[in-house]
A and B are shown apart, each in its own frame.
Chain A
């Protein structure tokens, strides 16, 4: 199980609605909206 970095929901990578690569790491999202937020400012959601 992966965690949606935006909404903190648990997401199965296979069923993920969307995904993004950031600094060599693939992140999975529950929905396209979360990915859009993430892509706009990835640093806000990772590495904190």
Chain B
């Protein structure tokens, strides 16, 4: 399965990209990559700092891509492999960058504080006079401007060489304007002071400090968004204990191959996926499935890598190792989803790409307007306001708004056992208004089960079931399987039978030693003249409960009634109620006859039932609902309803816990629990709410504050925005956007809060 899809889908590369700090950078890197011959598309994620490159038939070599990215002013590091070691190095590098930023923030704060005190005697009249010495202010500000804020200037120069622009351009031009103006005032006081010029160091120093503070907080927060992946990866043990004839020995996890016998002791993590051979224990799978209760494991039970063995020790046979384990699949799915781009982000990207030139233009206009019409000292006001415009207009919050929310949400989803395939799925799911539940295996737990055996008056209670099972031995009917397993569970011996014969629409029959055995519905009994006076009432009441009822007769005598029913998942009614509570319409589709399907649906609290739908018609049904203007989420098992899952706006599949990479599904529920559907929808809605808040915040912030910074309110209220406040506001806007996204990490689905079923 995976090999064929790998061959069919175009090859793609996932590359780390360094040096991006705003949404404008994203567009630049994408354009640079797409310009390389052989690249079909490139999609860059600012939050993960990764680029996904889809390659055409004649793919370019890595150095070409690296050169293209470098030409745009960014870097693809030498180490690109996504190995545990590479990941660790990446993390260590990030930690170093955070530490470096922290030092700069501290130095910046220590140096800027006296500058602030000294430059504003009106605000701090108690500050001693020597603090106001211009030369001291100059001395304190210089390291802040060029060392603390060095990365902005370096970025600006690099971009200048490549004739591009970004936030660095704005910050560097803005702060340097303030700095060099102040220097000029100090050096040629007569020329400037006479014209009302004032040194203006605090703008440069304090602003730089705030900007670096913003970068530092942003880097820290960005690290927090990928916590979920890091936690998942850390679940994978590095060694396994190979059980051999000569005793156990530890081997590196990479050396384990399927078929190896491995031993796990209490408290240890299970190293790879496998099947228990010997021993029993309880295993905590909560980090994979979100299920908080430990699961009992005995021989033949499947165990998954990453789960914690609790009580006993056991031996198991490895079945899937390396990239094939459920854990690895989950990590891959979450990573892919985190690296993908939500459609809503395109808007932000488009705005960001034209942002910097527009802002530069606004700054120039601001400067010109203040010089021409501003109150004296005109030049000073013009400079202040132009700097404020440059600083406040950075679109970084815009670039972080969507990807941080998507990352946190997909990570949180993984912790809850809900895997989203992409950011787009998150976005599509929140718009869904109709949920279609497949009956078998979704609303119900697996195939139908034997529920009642009612013996005819005076008949042996076990006889009917034994006879029925004997007749059903050769049958492939789902009812037959339920009867067979019911008889097996009761340990009944099946009498020998011969000459099976089926009558469509009625039942089956066979010849037994004691006479002809009939197994079928009432019509069959009537057509064969068998009377079952004592069973009529019981049959009706069982049928009213939605159970399928069959009569068993032997030698013309009715001997029992057997009822088989779908067993509703215990959490189904609560789930349906929760979906309704979310304002969703719930529809059940089923291949069963109307009565049975309706009975199950009724138990779950669903009124709309589409019965007698063949599996291949389910997709058509979904299509019809969509044609009626609905946005449909289809929930199924991903096996026989794959076309319907694919047709739906969002397909959700409940996995049996062994295969989470269900092809047709947009969302995989790792645990067989319907409440995952509610969690997925709630999480998607919360995520999109956060994304919209973030975008409104980021857009609104720029839309509102750029005019204020330009001084447009000055003629009315005399209000101006100092560049310092602009810098603070800018830092806070990025931080607040990331913090808003991080709160998604505390999301807990409402269905789980209610009683556990």
CB closest chain-A residue, reference B555: A14
With beta carbons under 8 angstroms apart, the residue of B503, B516, B528, B531 that contacts A35 is B528
B515 contacts chain A at the CB level, 8 A cutoff: yes
Contact with A along B726-746 (1 / 0, CB 8 A): 000000000000000000000
Complex CA distance for A20 and B531, rounded to whole angstroms = 10
CB distance from A43 to the nearest CB of B (A): 17
A32 contacts chain B at the CB level, 8 A cutoff: yes
* Interface contact A21-B515, CB-CB below 8 Å: no
Contact with B along A1-27 (1 / 0, CB 8 A): 000000000001111111111000010
* Interface contact A35-B555, CB-CB below 8 Å: no
CB distance from B520 to the nearest CB of A (A): 11
* Interface contact A19-B530, CB-CB below 8 Å: yes
Contact with A along B503-522 (1 / 0, CB 8 A): 10000010100111000000
Q: Point out the residues of chain B lying under 8 angstroms from A19, CB to CB.
A: 528-530, 556
CB distance from A30 to the nearest CB of B (A): 11
Q: Name, among B511, B514, B528, the residue most crowded by chain A CB atoms within 10 Å (CB to CB).
A: B528
Complex CA distance for A36 and B527, rounded to whole angstroms = 7
Complex CA distance for A36 and B515, rounded to whole angstroms = 21
Complex CA distance for A20 and B503, rounded to whole angstroms = 19
* Interface contact B527-A16, CB-CB below 8 Å: no
CB distance from A23 to the nearest CB of B (A): 14
With A13-B555, A13-B556 known to touch, is A20 a contact of B529 (CB < 8 Å)? yes
Complex CA distance for A14 and B530, rounded to whole angstroms = 12
* Interface contact A17-B528, CB-CB below 8 Å: yes
With beta carbons under 8 angstroms apart, the residue of B516, B527, B529, B531 that contacts A15 is B516
Q: Point out the residues of chain A lying under 8 angstroms from B528, CB to CB.
A: 17-19, 32, 35
CB closest chain-B residue, reference A28: B556
CB distance from A15 to the nearest CB of B (A): 5
Query: How many B residues are at the interface, by size bracket?
Result: 10 to 19
CB closest chain-B residue, reference A39: B529
Complex CA distance for A18 and B511, rounded to whole angstroms = 13
CB closest chain-B residue, reference A38: B529
Complex CA distance for A19 and B516, rounded to whole angstroms = 11
With A35-B527, A35-B529 known to touch, is A15 a contact of B503 (CB < 8 Å)? no
CB distance from A33 to the nearest CB of B (A): 10
Complex CA distance for A36 and B529, rounded to whole angstroms = 10
Complex CA distance for A26 and B529, rounded to whole angstroms = 9
* Interface contact A14-B514, CB-CB below 8 Å: yes
Q: Point out the residues of chain B lying under 8 angstroms from A20, CB to CB.
A: 529
Complex CA distance for A25 and B639, rounded to whole angstroms = 55
Q: Point out the residues of chain A lying under 8 angstroms from B515, CB to CB.
A: 12-16
* Interface contact A32-B511, CB-CB below 8 Å: no
Q: Point out the residues of chain B lying under 8 angstroms from A29, CB to CB.
A: 529
* Interface contact B530-A15, CB-CB below 8 Å: no
With A32-B528, A36-B527 known to touch, is A17 a contact of B509 (CB < 8 Å)? yes
Complex CA distance for A29 and B515, rounded to whole angstroms = 13
With beta carbons under 8 angstroms apart, the residue of B509, B516, B529 that contacts A21 is B529
Complex CA distance for A19 and B558, rounded to whole angstroms = 12
Q: Point out the residues of chain B lying under 8 angstroms from A26, CB to CB.
A: 529, 556
Complex CA distance for A17 and B509, rounded to whole angstroms = 9
With beta carbons under 8 angstroms apart, the residue of A12, A14, A18 that contacts B529 is A18
Q: Point out the residues of chain B lying under 8 angstroms from A13, CB to CB.
A: 515, 555-556
Interface members, chain B 507-560 (any A CB < 8 Å): 509, 511, 514-516, 527-531, 555-556
Q: Point out the residues of chain A lying under 8 angstroms from B516, CB to CB.
A: 14-17
CB distance from B204 to the nearest CB of A (A): 101
Complex CA distance for A29 and B530, rounded to whole angstroms = 12
CB closest chain-B residue, reference A18: B528
CB closest chain-A residue, reference B506: A32
Q: Point out the residues of chain B lying under 8 angstroms from A17, CB to CB.
A: 509, 516, 528
CB distance from B240 to the nearest CB of A (A): 62
* Interface contact B527-A18, CB-CB below 8 Å: yes
* A to B CB contacts below 8 Å, 7 in the list: A12-B515, A13-B555, A16-B555, A18-B527, A19-B530, A19-B556, A32-B527
**Which 8 A-B pairs rank lowest in CB-CB distance, beginning with the nearest?**
A14-B515, A18-B528, A19-B529, A14-B555, A20-B529, A15-B516, A19-B556, A18-B529
